Structure 1
Amino acid sequence: MKFNPDGQLYKLTTVTTQFIFLNLLYILSCLPIITIGVATSALFEVLLRYADNERGNLIRDYFQAIKSNWKQATAAFVVLSVPIALLIYSSSFWVGGGTILTSIIGVVSAILAAYFFVVLALSLSLIGRYKNSLKQTLKNAFLLPVADPIRSLGVLLIPVVLFCLMVLFPGFRLFLPLFGFVLICYCSAFLLLSIFKRWN
């Protein structure tokens, strides 16, 4: 059997291996917690390029993206993760009240938490995709879900669907350390590119 470096099997194997390695790198990069923002921004950067047919070395480009994005991505993560955590806590607290009023407040808090989560995802992807000030990036990230609610909702639903699959099918949890995070960001990349191209 003759080895063909331009063959489809070789390309598929190479991409699959890079995706697995990139997913493991991302998990390791997130372990200090505070680095989740820059790791996610770097992952978005390389996968947005890949989804937009701008090939390159995923692993090398990931490290370069971490180096160039760390300051803005970390700041955006800190600024937005605090209200997300507070809103999630508020939602669980008010829903536990057991009355219609507290349940309504809890649902509103959950919706706001989801909105901030989408804003965080948009912020980190914008940091990876464009060079801009942090203030302008956050402003754009807050406005985009209002301007394009359907695709922004898709950015939220992709990780939610994966989480539901993990809960419903325990065997699916093995998928997360292999491909999970890369698959979430890669699928989201197509939605994000369509949002950015529409409003760019």
Structure 2
Amino acid sequence: MRWNINRFFNPENRFWAFMERVTDICVLSFFWFLFSIPVVTAGAATTALFQYTLRLTADEEGYVWKTFREGFKKNFGQATILWIGAVLVGAFLVF
């Protein structure tokens, strides 16, 4: 069997599709870390991360930044309130 170099560099190759997903997850992890630095926004960042991964498993994902930003903005209020509540309950249980 001859090895075809053109098949290897085809962007629709399974290897490159896998590498694209790995890269998307790495970028997504960076965005999550960046947006979680102010601890108050960690809930919204986690919600945006989870929303993107759900789209990733359903093959509906778009651009990482656009999807993450939309999920962050859409769920910011509700996720922040729930996150602050979870932090307060966790602090209460620790003390």
* Structure 1 and Structure 2 fold alike (TM over 0.5): yes
Q: Is the helix fraction higher in 1 or 2?
A: 1
Contact 2:41 2:80 in 1 (8 A): yes
2:28 pairs with one of 9, 19, 22: 22
Correspondence list, 1:99-110, <5 A? none
Structure 2: gaps (5+ residues): none
2:81 pairs with one of 75, 78, 82: 75
**TM-score, structure 2 normalization:** 0.83
Contact 1:18 1:59 in 2 (8 A): no
Equivalent residues, number: 89
Task: Return structure 1 stretches of 4+ with deviation > 2 angstroms.
Answer: 51-59
Paired residue for 1:109? none
Paired residue for 2:68? 62
- What's the % identity of the aligned pairs? 28
Which residue identity lines up with residue 30 of structure 1 in the other structure? S
For 1:170-194, what per-residue CA distance to the aligned partner results, in whole angstroms no more than 9, with x for missing partners? xxxxxxxxxxxxxxxxxxxxxxxxx
Q: How far apart are the structure 2 equivalents of 1:85 and 1:48?
A: 30
Paired residue for 2:17? 11
Which residue identity lines up with residue 57 of structure 1 in the other structure? Y
Correspondence list, 1:14-163, <5 A? 14-87=20-93, 89-90=94-95
Q: How far apart are the structure 1 equivalents of 2:61 and 2:47?
A: 18
